[in-house]
Each structure stands twice: as C-alpha cells, then as structure tokens.
Amino acid sequence: MPSHLQKQLESLTGSQQTSLLCSIGRGIEKESLRITPDGALAQTPHPRALGSALTHGSITTDYSEALLEFITPVDTGIDSSLKTLEDIHQYVYNQMPEEMLWCASMPCFLGEDKDIPVAKYGSSNVARMKTVYRYGLGHRYGRVMQTIAGIHYNFSMPQAYWDQAWAEAGQPGELQDYISERYLGLIRNFRRYSWLLIYLFGASPAICGSFLRNHDQHGLEPFGDGHSLYLPHGTALRMGDLGYNSDAQKGLRICYNSLANYVETLRAAIMQPHPDYAHLSSGESGEYQQLNDSLLQIENEFYSPIRPKRVTLSGETPLHALTESGIEYIEVRCVDVNPFSPVGIDAEQIRFLDTFLLYCLLEESPACTEQEQDCMAANMNAVVNRGREPGLELSSCNGSRLMSDWANSLLSDMQDISKALDNAHQSKAYGESLQVQSAKIADPELTPSARVLREMREHGKPFFRLALSYSQLWADHFRQQPADAEKTAHYAAEAELSLTAQQAVEAADEVSFEQYLANFYGQYETLPKP
C-alpha cells in the first residue's frame, strides 16, 4: 500500500506536474552588515542613494542601522531570483565606495553596545514604532544581537495546487482553512527536521571575540590567540543561546497545531505584562524605551526558525492578517549567510530547500505534544553546538537515534520528490543537490561549518580575518563587473520613489503616536479566542 507521502506526491505529479512544480513561489531576504574597509561596523546613516529604508521594496534595514536587508520579489525561477539578488548587491556596492558588506551571519568587530546604531526610519508614526521596537530589543537582549544576519527564504505553493489538493481531499471546510492547515502541517514537520538544515547549511561555528565582550559564561573555546571563539563541532551558533534567546522566552510555548491556537498563544505573549521589562519606560511622560512591557512587544520578537505569513495592510498586525485571511506563505529563518557565495546563498541550497519543504508539506504531520516540542528544542540545540560530533544521537518519538542514520533516512524519503522536480524542470539539478547533501552526511568535513574552521586553521586566521578576506573578495567581485545602465537607472528610480513615498507617509499622519499605538494594539483585543 502506498504511503501517505507517496499518495500526496502522486497527486502532485499528475497531469499538471510541470505547471505545479514549476510554479512554486519563492522570495529571498538577505541581511548584510555595512562595514568599513578595516572590518569595523559602519557608523554612517543608511545611504540616501539606497532610498528610504521604510518604503523601499528591495533595500531596507533590519535591526541595526548598519544591517542592510535585500528583498527579492516573489518569483517562480531560482536563477531569476538569484539574478535579482546579484543586481541589488551590485547597485548597492556602486553606491557605497567607502564601505563593504560583511559576508557572514555572525558580525564583524564590534565596540560597546552604545556604538551600535539603532535603525531610523523617519518621523512618521509607523517609522517611530519601528525604531522604538528596536530600542526595546536593545534593552532586552543587547544591541550586539541586532548585528546578527541571516537568510530568510519565503516559500509558497501555487493556487492551482491548493485547488486540486482541496478537491481531492473532498473539499473539507473552506479552501483557505484547508490551505492554512496544510501550511501548519509543513511547519510542524519543519520543526521536527530543521536540525538537518542546521547541519547541512550552518556556517557560523566561530565568532569574533568582541561579540561576547564582558561575557565569560559562554561555553565556547578560544581559537589561536583568543581573538576568536568557537565550538569544535559547532554548526550555526546564531541559532543557539548566542542568538535571540532569553530566559523570559524559554517558557514560551507557541502552538502550531491550529491557526487559532498559534494566534492566541502569541497574542497572550504580546498582551500580558512581564515583570522582567516593567522597569523600562513604554510611554510614561512621552518616553519610550520599548513599545510595551509584555513578554513580546510584537509578533516578530518571537524568533522562530519558521513563521506562517501573510502580506499585511498598512498598520495591520500580522496576527490580524492571519486571522482574517489565513496563511499565504511560510518564511524559513534558520539559514546562515553562506560566506562562500557572493550573495550568501546559491542555487544548490535553494533546490534542496524546495525539496525539503515539499517533503515537510507532503509527509504526514500529526499534532505536536509538549514532550515532542521539548525533543525538537533539544535536537536543535545539539546540532547547533555539536552537529559534526561523531556518533551524535538525537531524540525521536521512538527513542534516541544516530543523527547520521536519521539524516540518511530523511534524504532517502526525499528522493522521489527530487526526481519529480527534475522531471518537471527537465534537469538533473535537484537530484544532484540531494547527492551533495548526502555526501555531507557521510563526510562532515564537507559542511560549510567545517570549511570555516578548516580555513581558519590552514590560513592561520581568526574568524574576523577570514570573514573580512571573503568580504573583500565579494566586494571586488561586484565592483569589477561593468555596471548595467538599465539596472542602475531602475534601482536609482526606486530609491527616489521610496523617498517620496516616505514623505507621503509622514504627511498622512493624523493621530498622535500614542493613539497610533493604541489603535495598533487594539487589534489584538478583538482577535477571536479559540
């Protein structure tokens, strides 16, 4: 009897195989720090030539003023998405002759917290809210956390697939409810198996010692003269305790078993005051050191490796959008910036991500128990810190299991999916990507994290020096390419339009900042409870 996975795949690879599997929507968000030529964090404001960080559709900033974020539009082509990302990089480099982009997830040399500039977005209410939120993050986690970068990968199935799958399932309930339930199933499976992505693509086994200045209880080992810290078998340190984690959030259990439960658990964390943050001003006498004193200021403060998403209207909360219209796509947030790629990610990675996400979507995905959630967290932590350790065991529902055996089993289960993708695209690239990942399981030295440590040893360079050398390499790569006049004109026009749009947003404000926040948070009060 065919398995659940086989049945789902057969449905997907029927007469509409090509149109469905070639119509997967993807978007890439890539973060990079602006740095000086000597590798220090840039202290300059967001370059005017890049437009408004508030309203530009392709170039913005994340937490720190120096942390650029490049965004590609939804696209069904991998090569075209990467070409767009390359075009953005080249334009940015041409506008920053005195600065470079840091090539890694963990940051460059950092000074004191106060020396890390918080992102500014203008004088409008929405701009002020974005900045105050970041001040809150700085108080809660430290500003150094606002310099960590990553790759966010947005993934969606075409509407034709959902129409077909819903019909074949007997049209249970409303179509959008069915779509949301299936995406939640994908998310649950992703959380079960995301340790595999951490092992395969983790590229942050080491950090610059300045990141942990004045922090002695970190458990890392010194590398060489001690200017770098690392874990011998570490993979993606930004996804562990060094990243956006806090004692306050450790007790937060977000439920993905239903959309209503997901919304309610996050809503409660946003609305309930938390004693750890009561001392920070959130509007008293007009002073804002944070948006509120709750466990979470807004949804984005919950740093999950994956998020259900829907495009929001201006001023709309993400939870309100999900409640009103359901899940539109998912956002993968656990992929390190690849320092060995000019744009931080390559086609081979993307092909495996597509294969992996399809597996998570098509495979059975039962509801998660609290016990299983604990296992997921333990597995993630183990692979982050010890992923390349020989004989590493992880926890499954059936007891402990060798990570390598489990990884090979998962890759074996994905073979038919990669074949279907290759058939649809008339290629061999998906199967080849799967083979590359299989080789990394057999030989951990082939992983990006192992390569980082190997090159540090072979070249006698601490993490900072190695990352700086690759940052310079990619800066030269883009600056030596002849500028495309048409692309330059396009992004220059986008920049000017975004500055005009920012002015329009500022001119349109009709209420005080306090009232704006009250209206914003009022949306959480009206959300239905399960």
Q: Is the pLDDT of residue 250 over 90?
A: no
Q: Is the pLDDT of residue 398 over 90?
A: no
Q: Is the pLDDT of residue 16 over 60?
A: no
> What's the confidence (pLDDT) of residue 284?
87
- Which amino acid belongs to residue 494? E
Give the mean pLDDT of 95-117.
95
What pTM does this model have? 0.96
Tokens 């809150």 correspond to: 136
Q: Is the pLDDT of residue 94 over 80?
A: yes
Q: Is the pLDDT of residue 14 over 80?
A: no
> What's the confidence (pLDDT) of residue 247?
67
Domain 4-525 sits in CATH at: 3.30.590.20
User: Cα separation of 157 and 161, whole Å?
Assistant: 7
The model's pLDDT over 216-243, given as tens digits with 9 standing for 90+, comes to 767 899 998 778 999 999 999 999 988 7
Q: Is the pLDDT of residue 120 over 90?
A: yes
The model's pLDDT over 462-520, given as tens digits with 9 standing for 90+, comes to 999 999 999 999 999 999 999 899 999 999 999 999 999 999 999 999 999 999 999 99
The model's pLDDT over 284-300, given as tens digits with 9 standing for 90+, comes to 888 999 999 999 999 99
User: Cα separation of 456 and 206, whole Å?
Assistant: 10
**SS3 at position 124:** coil
> What's the confidence (pLDDT) of residue 349?
98
> What's the confidence (pLDDT) of residue 217?
67
> What's the confidence (pLDDT) of residue 3?
86
Q: Is the pLDDT of residue 15 over 70?
A: no
Residue 483 — φ and ψ, nearest 5°?
-70, 135
Q: What percent of the chain has pLDDT over 70?
A: 98
Confidence bin at 1 (pLDDT 50/70/90): low
Residue 436 — φ and ψ, nearest 5°?
-60, -45
The chain-wide mean pLDDT, for the chain, equals: 94
Q: Is the pLDDT of residue 337 over 70?
A: yes
Tokens 């209420």 correspond to: 511
Confidence bin at 12 (pLDDT 50/70/90): confident
Triad 324, 327, 329: Cα angle to 5°? 145
CB 283 within 8 A of CB 518: no
The model's pLDDT over 144-194, given as tens digits with 9 standing for 90+, comes to 988 999 999 999 999 999 999 999 999 999 999 999 999 999 999 999 999
| Beta bridge mates, 67 | 33
> What's the confidence (pLDDT) of residue 467?
98
User: Cα separation of 280 and 135, whole Å?
Assistant: 10
Q: Is the pLDDT of residue 461 over 90?
A: yes
More confident residue, 215 or 510: 510
The model's pLDDT over 19-39, given as tens digits with 9 standing for 90+, comes to 899 999 999 999 999 999 999
The model's pLDDT over 33-77, given as tens digits with 9 standing for 90+, comes to 999 999 999 999 999 999 999 999 999 999 999 999 999 999 999
User: Cα separation of 188 and 181, whole Å?
Assistant: 11
